A = this chain, B = another copy of it.
Amino acid sequence: MNKHPDYLLNRVKSPADVKKLSLSQMEKLAQEIRTLILEKDAAMGGHLGPDLGIVEATIAYHYVFNAPKDKIIWDVSHQTYPHKMLTGRADAWLDPDKYGDVTPYSNPNESPYDYYTIGHTSTSIALATGMAKARDLMGGHENIMALIGDGSMTGGLAYEGLNNAAIEKHNLVVVVNDNQMAIDHNVGGLVTALKKLRESNGQTKENPFTAMGFDYRYVADGNDIKSMIDAFKAVKDVDHPILLHINTLKGKGYQPAIEHEEAHHWVMPFDLKTDQPLAPAPTGPNANSVAMDVMKEHIQNNEKIMAINAAIPGVFGLDEIKEKYPNNYQDVGIAEQESVAFAAGMAKEGAIPVLFENSTFLQRAFDQLSHDVAANDLPVVMMIAGGGISSESKTHIGVFDQVMVSNLPNWIYLAPTSLAEEKAMMEWAIKQRKHPVAIKMPVQPVPTKGGQVANDYSRIQYQIKPGKDIAVLALGDFYASLGKKVATKLGATLVNPISANILDQAALDRLAQTNKVIITLEDNILDGGFGEKVASYLGGKDVKVLNYGQSRVYTDEVPVTKIYQQNHLTVDQIIDDIQNL
């Protein structure tokens, strides 16, 4: 039921209704939107600070421009809650029963006011430049805008975009939403450049944007609706590329989000009165705490080790290392290419770089994983979070890192089945100074103990629990959650294959001789995965091989249980398959 039937927002069915509002009504609307963001985020979790900061700019945009003909590309699109509220989707904030009705990112299946499914950073300028070029080719005249900021400017593609946008011949506006933050505090030379611009009210000649040829404009208070309306009116229909730099306050309207910006970039459900999360903090060891303990042990042991990440310390709980051991901590900004090449440089000099990467964002660094690390066979250690089948948005699913990394030469890709195994693998990866090693941190719960706890993973030797007729090779976190159960029910042999890309061929030969069927299970897509390698290796032998994993599709906020069901990743379905073979 609508919680705020009195809100002005109820009368805004589309941007046309925004255009009818007075300035004071728009200011009231901004307050309502802010309250709604906070209420829904408190109940459901979601992006918080970025959305609170962009409310006024969004209202002004829809007041001035004529969407969807005029087009705005929201970089990352994690700041589109206000935009969604103004483009016919307000019910998903007004009515708690409808909280789940819209997706957290821009979504063309949801609205004609959204043009792309976007969730990764730094793409908006390039997308907008392509759209502007297509418009020109097709004889159109609409306004095209990219709105980028909140750290996205540290990614290389943002710069490639600027480099190309600057020389376009017709209308194209790049809005730099400068809130002085990445996901974590912004880092790097661009911080310096933006600071000089802010402090000179946009007047300094030391301006990287005018240097590139942009017509540059500055708005000192990007949270003032009137200023933003004036700024947008001034750039509308202008026939050349413009860079509009707006200074906004991330988290505006919610003091805790202003004071602790990183913790409020994205939030889990929380209590609006106390700002405390509703769910208790996890206790006991987990995949993160194991990795942090290993790091601390080596740092305290005075080893030349460095925890490297790309603006996501919170994903791993790296904050303690960041604070206590700043010499052993490096945040390169949202710039995964840099993180991996930087790690290659450190490894070459004999230091021990440990990368902490998120599976989906690591996609930006494929060439560095290959060209800089693998082709030079440098001993970089890489801990990967979020790798596996999940209910994430389609832009954030983590099923491609294994494909990228494990099919490259020289990389050793390990998948622990327990926390003890994760620790042993990480210790070995740090100690050996020969090859790059990736460790897929479990995303499903795994036991604390057990697994292949070895001193040396340079030669993969399968750990085998013997059974009869059928062998189940269950990789990583599928070992305990699925493989063990399937093997028990079938009385089958259970195997921990340890690595996604290095096969224990001798063990496979023996298994092929003593079994009729070999099953592989992996928490990943099948294409380019572990199972296909086993099927290929055993292709010439007299044994059947069945590969289980996710099919090659994008899932989009689909519950994992449903994805499992669709891909026969349940005990009963697998047993059925075997019986019907």
Contact = CB atoms under 8 A, between A and B. Distances in A.
Interface of A: 108, 115-120, 122-123, 126-135, 137-138, 154-167, 187-193, 196, 204-208, 210-214, 304, 306, 327-328, 330, 332-333, 335, 337-338, 341-351, 353, 363-364, 366-368, 370-372, 374-376, 394-395, 400, 403-404, 406-410, 501, 525-528, 531-533, 535-536, 538-541, 544-547, 552-554, 581
A293 to B, nearest CB: 21
B375 A137 contact: no
A527 to B, nearest CB: 4
Contacts of A188: 163-164, 166-167, 212
Contact of A160 (B155, B213, B344, B538): B155
Interface pairs A-B: 9 shortest CB-CB = A156-B156, A130-B345, A189-B212, A166-B189, A126-B341, A134-B349, A163-B188, A539-B545, A528-B528
Given A164-B188, A211-B207, A540-B581, A407 B527 contact: yes
* Chain B CB within 10 A, most for which of A128, A154, A166, A371: A371
A450 to B, nearest CB: 28
A346 B131 contact: yes
B338 A374 contact: no
Contacts of A155: 156, 160
Nearest to A146: B345
B208 A212 contact: yes
Nearest to A554: B409
Contact of A128 (B327, B343, B345): B345
Contacts of A539: 535, 538-539, 544-547
Nearest to A73: B345
Given A160-B155, A164-B188, A527-B407, A129 B342 contact: yes
Contacts of A536: 526, 531-532, 535-536, 545, 547
Given A155-B160, A345-B126, A211 B208 contact: yes
A546 B541 CA distance: 10
Nearest to A394: B375
Oligomer copy total: 2
8 contacts: A126-B344, A137-B306, A166-B192, A192-B212, A403-B528, A407-B528, A532-B532, A539-B546
Contacts of A544: 539-541
Contacts of A120: 367, 371
A388 to B, nearest CB: 16
Contact of A554 (B133, B189, B190, B374): B374
B162 A154 contact: no
A407 B525 contact: yes
Contacts of A554: 374-375, 409-410
Contacts of A132: 345
A200 to B, nearest CB: 11
Given A337-B160, A338-B126, A536-B526, A404 B366 contact: yes
Given A130-B345, A155-B156, A525-B407, A208 B187 contact: no
Contacts of A332: 160, 164
Given A205-B205, A528-B403, A127 B164 contact: no
A210 B394 CA distance: 40
A376 B133 CA distance: 19
A134 B351 contact: yes
Contacts of A118: 371
Contact of A138 (B349, B403, B547): B349
A527 B540 contact: no
A130 B210 contact: no
Nearest to A159: B159
B130 A343 contact: yes
Nearest to A128: B345
B350 A138 contact: yes
A169 to B, nearest CB: 11
Contact of A349 (B135, B154, B211): B135
A335 B542 CA distance: 49
Contacts of A541: 544
A135 B306 CA distance: 12
Contacts of A187: 163-164, 167
A528 B530 CA distance: 9
A10 B345 CA distance: 33
A304 B130 CA distance: 13
A338 B206 contact: no
Nearest to A243: B189
A492 to B, nearest CB: 16
B196 A157 contact: no
Contacts of A501: 527, 552
A157 to B, nearest CB: 4
A346 to B, nearest CB: 4
A116 B163 contact: no
A123 B344 CA distance: 10
A190 B207 contact: no
Given A126-B345, A156-B156, A367 B376 contact: no
Contacts of A137: 304, 306, 327-328, 346, 351
A332 to B, nearest CB: 5
